[in-house]
Amino acid sequence: MTYLRPARQDTGEQAPQGARHQAVPRALSGGAVMALALGIGTGAGPSLARALGLAPSSTAARLIPAVLVSLVALTLVRAAVRHDGHRVARLGFGGPAASLRALLVGIAVPGTAACLVFGLGTAAGLLRWSTPDPGTLARFLVTNTAVALLLEALPEETTLRGYTWTSLRGSFSGPLSALGTTAVFLLVPGASTAVQATTARLLGAEGAPVGIVPEGRPPADHLILLTVFGLTLVAARRALPDAPLCTAIGTHLTVLTVNRVALQGDSRDAGWSAVDQAAAAPLLVPLYLSVAAAAFVVLGRMAARISRG
């Protein structure tokens, strides 16, 4: 088996025309893997937690689906990468130092953007915050980080901004690859609900409703937000030359945490939240994502200039 070196940060080189017929099926398979993993994990996880006698709201019960999702997604992606004749590092992983540096950049950029935008929104009267409970907030951050990392950030970035992105980028331009990766990202939630419902019913449980967006959310609003989020994650993945996928993982995890504390903190018992939100407050999320994406684009251009000497 022939192994290739990990792909460099957007060299602009593309595969020969004849190889393009494989790029799109491989890109779609990255989304299929994520949908399958998410559906199996969320469909089988609650049944397994009940079998173990765990309370549904306990951290352990929430971790079981998350572990299942990561286990299925990473196993299938590893098999796909090896079948293609590449190393897993090609997806954008790196050594410990580079990975930590990329992860911290992925946390710092959207975190700073969120502080800036939410701070301006608060000053403008769009948000009013509760009094923080440091102990409750700290516990929430620890448990949310563990669950969100394994359920969403790690498997989604590995399958989508990892396998799907690299499959497309080998044959298409950066903008086309970004749009293609984001389009696959939009397909995953709906496909995963079908897998989740089937898995749950096979185990004798009641499956969640099948749909393209979570129940109760306006489809257009949700898809627009996912599009902005997806493009931001691609921008994060392109920002650094070393361990770039870790930048996307840090960004994904930070955005989930910020949104859950700021906009859902009360219902999630996060210990802090925006308790009074104006009608325009939800627009702050795509706004800070756009600011973060712009910052990542700037970082990527700076890194490209440095690499050219």
pLDDT tens digits, 142-165: 999 999 999 999 999 999 999 999
Kindly state whether residue 12 falls inside one of the protein's structural domains: no
pLDDT of 2 higher than 60: no
Residue 266 has pLDDT above 80, yes or no: yes
- The reported pLDDT for the residue numbered 282 is 85
Tell me phi and psi for residue 247, to 5 degrees: -65, -45
pLDDT digits 0-9 by tens, 166-175 = 999 989 999 9
Residue 267 lies in a domain: yes
Residue 1 maps to a domain? no
The total number of structural domains in the chain stands at 1
The H or E element that residue 129 is part of is strand 127-129
- The per-residue pLDDT for 281 is 84
DSSP code per residue over 202-270: HTTSPPPPP-SS-TTS-HHHHHHHHHHHHHHHHHHHTS-SSSHHHHHHHHHHHHHHHHHHHTTTTTTT-
**4 — pLDDT class (breaks 50, 70, 90):** very low
| pLDDT of 7 strictly over 70 | no
pLDDT digits (tens, 9 = 90+) for 134-148: 999 999 999 999 999
Residue 272's SS3 state is coil
Residue 91's domain spans which residues? 17-307
pTM of the model: 0.92
Three-class HEC string of 139-182: HHHHHHHHHHHHHHHHHHHHHHHHHHHHHHHCCCCHHHHHHHHH
Q: What is the mean pLDDT of residues 251-259?
A: 97
Does residue 76 belong to any structural domain of this protein?
A: yes
Residue 219: what pLDDT?
85
Q: Identify whether the C-beta of residue 198 lies closer than 8 Å to the C-beta of residue 183.
A: no
- Our CA dihedral for 282, 104, 98, 76, rounded to 10 degrees, sits at -40
